[in-house]
Structure 1
Amino acid sequence: MSNVKKLIYYWLSQSVSSTALAWLEQKQTEIAEGAPERIFFTAFSAVPRYLGKENLQLTSQDLSKAEDLVPGWFPGDWTVDQAGRTFLLLALPHDRSENYVRSLDKVFSSADMRELVALYQSLPLLPHPELHSQRAAEGIRSNMVNVFNAIALHNPYPADYLDNIAWNQMVLKALFVGSPMHLIYGLDRRANPELARMLVNYAHERWAAKRPVSPELWRPVGKFADSEIIADLAKVFADGDMIEKQAAALACAESSLPAAQELLSLYPQLLSAIQKGELTWSNFNRNRLPVCK
């Protein structure tokens, strides 16, 4: 049993009955030993009936172990049925990648919303991760916010395997549907000039419609600022509330352009807070961020 499976099994042993755990063990053994596909599909569908749908009760130590095994893996909001389904997915034989992917395609194509959430959350844990990028891109296009969030938030798979086109679409959609950008793993690492321009254009559309712009929009923008973007940041400083001004200041601080530094120098309190490490994107006051829809 892999370390990831062992950890999931341990969590489940702390959360479900011995009868439920025995059923799950039996099914994963049958699946691992090459049982007919229908055994897997039937068990995958039946997991909530046997295990329930309660939240996993994970400690900070549990979450640290998850991060150690798979950087970026955060199962803090997983339920027992999601964990159980992931456990069964990890039991599927995967020596022949084409057969493995074919089986995954079948379960994705027939899954309901709750099953899709479990499937997309499991992507960073599955064998042959390089073969699942198209599947992840489909999750990004989902009209179901829960399904979109399963791939976009607290999930390291997109940052590690999506190309820039799919990645940029995901970040922009997160803004569009009101998902918190700070929960997108790898947001800073995967920032790129095309994304910065897309986000600024989106901000212009929001302003033209007299609608608010999430301060988090500026996080991937600052390091790619040009004269036009600096003018936009000046507008945020002039018209925004304190949270928006903080975001504009952080964006300016990441720019190497003299004009950005000159703009930031006009707000010495914010500049001082950044220089002292009191204001960073990591400690940005997310609890006060407005939901912009």
Structure 2
Amino acid sequence: MSKVNKLLHHWLLKSVSEKAFAWLEHKQAQISSGAAERVFFTAFSAVPRYLGKQDLQLTFQDLEAAEDVIPGWYPGNWSVDQAGRTLLLLALPHDDAQGYVRSLDQVFSTADMGELVALYQSLPLLPHSELHRQRAAEGIRSNMSNVFQAIALRNPYPANYLDNAAWNQMVLKAVFVGSPLHLIWGLDRRANPELAKMLADYAHERWAAKRSVTPELWRPVGRFADSAIVTDLEKVLANGDTAEQEAAALACAESPLPQAQALLSRYPDLQSSIQQGNLTWNNFSRK
């Protein structure tokens, strides 16, 4: 049994009844031994009826164990039915990669919203990770917020497998729909010049409409700021509220441009707070 399977089993064993757990184990055994696909589809749909929908009862140590197995995996907001459905997905025979993907395509095509959330949450755990890129990109385009968040937030799959075009679209959509950017795993690592320009352009659109922008928008921008973006940061530092000023200062601190450093030096309190480690993106996001 894989480490992921062991963790999910352990968590479900302490979160559901013995009868429910026995039903799930029986279905896993049937599916893994090559039962007809209808057995999988029927069981996948029936999981909430047998296991319920309550949250997994996870400790800090459980979350650390998940992170150790797959960096970025955060099941802290998972329910028992989501964990159970993931175990059924992992039970599907997968020696034939194309056959496995065809089975996934079939369940994705008929899934309701709750099932889609479980499916997208499970992507970083499934075999043949590289073959699920198109499926992840479809999740990003979803107009169902729960489905979008399942792939975009606390999910390592996008950062590890999406190309820049799909990744940038996901981050921009997260800004647009108001999702917290600090919950996007790999945000700093995957920052890139094209994304920086897209976010700056979006900020201009919001300002033109007399609307505000989330201060987190500047987090992936600083390292790739050009002179025009530094001018935008100057505007934010001059006119923004405290959170906006702090975000702009952090972006300036990450920029290699002399003009960005000169701009930051005009705000010595913010500059000092950053230099002393009191103001970072991590503690900024926790406020």
Q: What TM-score results when the alignment is normalised by the length of structure 2?
A: 0.99
Instruction: Describe the shift of the 1:159–1:229 C-alpha distance in structure 2 as closer, same or farther (beyond 3 A).
Output: same
Q: Distance in 2 between matches of 1:13 and 1:80?
A: 10
TM superposition shift of 1:286: 3.7
* Residue 243 (structure 2) aligns with: 243
TM superposition shift of 1:176: 0.5
Q: Distance in 2 between matches of 1:202 and 1:70?
A: 33
* Residue 158 (structure 1) aligns with: 158
Matches within 5 A, 1:1-293: 1-287=1-287
- Quick one: which amino acid aligns to residue 158 of structure 2? P
- Quick one: which amino acid aligns to residue 38 of structure 1? R
Q: Distance in 2 between matches of 1:33 and 1:283?
A: 49
Q: Which has the higher helix share?
A: 2
- Quick one: which amino acid aligns to residue 172 of structure 1? L
Deviations 1:53-86 (A, max 9, x none): 0011111000000000000000000000000000
How many residues end up aligned between the 2 structures?
287
TM superposition shift of 1:285: 4.4
Q: Distance in 1 between matches of 2:43 and 2:226?
A: 54
Unaligned runs of 5+ in 2: none
Q: Distance in 1 between matches of 2:3 and 2:234?
A: 50
Q: Distance in 1 between matches of 2:4 and 2:95?
A: 18
Instruction: Describe the shift of the 1:33–1:285 C-alpha distance in structure 2 as closer, same or farther (beyond 3 A).
Output: closer
- The answer to whether the 8 Å contact 2:182/2:285 transfers is no
SS in structure 2 of the partner of residue 93 of structure 1: coil
- Taking only aligned residues, the RMSD between alpha carbons, in angstroms, comes to 0.5
SS in structure 2 of the partner of residue 94 of structure 1: coil
Unaligned runs of 5+ in 1: 288-293
- Quick one: which amino acid aligns to residue 168 of structure 1? N
Identity of aligned residues (%): 75
Q: Distance in 2 between matches of 1:4 and 1:269?
A: 46
Q: Distance in 2 between matches of 1:57 and 1:8?
A: 11
Q: Distance in 2 between matches of 1:227 and 1:129?
A: 39
Deviations 1:142-191 (A, max 9, x none): 00000000000000000000000000000000011110000000000000
- The answer to whether the 8 Å contact 2:67/2:73 transfers is yes
SS in structure 1 of the partner of residue 75 of structure 2: coil
Deviations 1:7-36 (A, max 9, x none): 001000000000000000000000000000
Deviations 1:23-51 (A, max 9, x none): 00000000000000000000000000000
